[in-house]
Structures are given as structure tokens and as C-alpha cells.
Amino acid sequence: MLSKKALTIIFTCFLITGCTDFFMICSLHPFYLEKQVVLCPGVEGSWSARPLMPKSVDEKSDVWLKADTLFVWKIERYISRTDQKTSMGKDTTIVNPMNFYEVKLMSTSPDSLQYSFKMVLFRIRNVLYADFTPRDHLIFTGSRVTRESYFPVHTLAKLKYNSDHMNISWLGAEYMKEMIEKKRVRVNYHWVESAKRLLLTGTSEQLSGMIERYAGEPRFIDWENQQAMLQLNRIKN
């Protein structure tokens, strides 16, 4: 069990590295179990992004930043490559496709920063969800202290896709806070008063159980009424 002081330190790192805008709920642990992970080749490719406006938010609300909607979203299954020597002493590369995807936000400008995320797809009650965690923050590469202090967090999204477009809706921080306060869901969390922010601390078993019980019911979670929603449109060559 993490102490209050330790959680506060971790949350300070979160403010620096990931969930800084408070639109998405963040979790210390993954939202899925390994047995729920799936592969969906149809999500791979290059996509442009445009915001989707929820019913409860004014159209003038500014949720997304420049890179989210102006950069190209390139999604590929992650391939691990390990260099090693054979029994004969020759160099060889072991190629191992992993059960998750790398999402890169890429600019057409060669000197622009590139953002990279790990996206794990999983199904619960035949509904497709995505667990996002940051993989690279290039701005941190010049600081050893910052890199060593970096804690990745998890965000949860519901995903719908076809050959031409993909809708992604992230579970909102305020939405989750309201559900907890009204006792609509039960999950371990920590409230960091100094940051006025909720951090989910439940285990993956508890989180996936919450999704199984509540996430498929619009009366509990209205996925079309979240603040952070995007439509990705496939870029055809």
C-alpha cells in the first residue's frame, strides 16, 4: 500500500508527464487483464484526427491541443527486436510481435517533436476498449533526474472503428469523480488535495471488474458524452 506522501510525489510526476489537462481519468494500474487483450489489425495505419463534441460541452470548449488534431496518428503493432549472437558467434536479430500497438503523433515537419503511446486493446462483454500509456516524452531526454522520476499512467477509452474511421472516447476525470461521489461505482482511488485531482489506485482486477459491471451501461457511463473524444479518419495512400 502506497503512503499518502508517496502518492503525492507520484501525482506530482503525473502533472509533469501525462495527465496535465484533467480531462481524462488516470490510473496507476492498467484497466485490463492479460486474458482480455485482443489484436485488431483494422486499427493499423495512418489517421487524421478531429474533435467530437459531447452533448454537455459548449462547442467553443477547447479540450485538445495542437498536436492531438493537427498531427498524423500512425498506429502500428509493436515489434520487439533484440540483437544477440548465435551459438556460432554470429550476430542475429530476434523479431517478436507484441500484443499491443504503438501510437505515434507525427508532424510533417522533420524537426518537430514526436509523441508516442502504448495502446493495448481489450474486450469486456464484447465491447472494445483501449488502455493508453505514454511511451516517449522527447522533451525529457536531456534530463536524467526527470527521466528517472517519470511514472507512466493509464487512461481508459472506448473504441469503435471501421475501414474508414475510428471513434475514441476517453473516460473523463470529472465524470469518474461524480460517479464515485454518488456511489454509482466502487473503486479504490486517492484524492490529491493540492492538485484537486482524482487518481485511481485500484488493481487491474478491480478496474476490469468495474468496466464489466458499469461501462457497458449508458445509464452508468455515457461514452458519447465525455469531454475528450476524437474521430480518426483513415489517410489513404
Neighbours of 137 (CB within 10 A): 17
Query: pLDDT digits over 53-94, tens only?
Result: 887 765 556 788 888 898 999 999 999 877 777 677 777 777
- CB within 8 Å of 6: residues ≥ 6 apart: none
Give me the amino acid identity at 216. Answer: G
What's the average model confidence in pLDDT over 95-113? 82
- Structurally, the chain folds into a number of domains equal to 1
- Identify the domain containing residue 125 by its residue range: 4-234
Query: pLDDT digits over 188-232, tens only?
Result: 988 877 667 788 999 999 999 999 999 988 888 999 999 999 999
Rg (CA), the chain: 19
Q: What is the dihedral of CA 65, 17, 209, 229, to 10 degrees?
A: 0
Q: What are phi and psi of 112, to 5 degrees?
A: -85, 155
Query: 3-state secondary structure string, 153-174?
Result: CEEEEEEEECCCEEEEEECEHH
Query: pLDDT digits over 148-159, tens only?
Result: 555 678 999 999
